[in-house]
């Protein structure tokens, strides 16, 4: 697999935008110039991210999310930064 970052990526395994191999490498997100560590899903072309809304979960146990609009810059973390 190449190190090309997709336009749309999700951490939810049920999503069609889930990519386990890429997530294992480590993907970082800069949103409006600020590093974000709680991103559940992003779309670069549409300019949004979804972040968890605290510890709130829906009736299925999935985190409740908030959609934020702005400049999204995904990148591959180096081997020393991936966790």
Domains of the chain by residue range = 8-76
Token pair recorded at residue 64: 């409740």
Residues in the chain: 83
- State pTM to two decimals: 0.83
Cα 11 to Cα 49: distance, rounded to the nearest angstrom: 12
pLDDT tens-digit series, residues 8-63: 999 999 999 999 999 999 999 999 999 999 999 999 999 999 999 989 999 998 88
Radius of gyration of the chain (CA): 13
Backbone angles phi, psi at 35, to 5 degrees: -70, 130
């Amino acid at each position: 697999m190449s190190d090309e970052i997709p336009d749309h990526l999700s951490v939810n395994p049920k999503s069609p935008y889930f990519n386990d191999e890429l997530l294992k490498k480590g993907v970082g997100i800069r949103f409006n110039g600020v590093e974000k560590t709680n991103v559940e899903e992003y779309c670069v072309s549409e300019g949004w991210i979804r972040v968890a809304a605290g510890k709130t979960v829906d009736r299925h146990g999935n985190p409740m999310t908030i959609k934020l609009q702005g400049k999204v810059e995904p990148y591959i973390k180096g081997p020393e930064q991936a966790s």
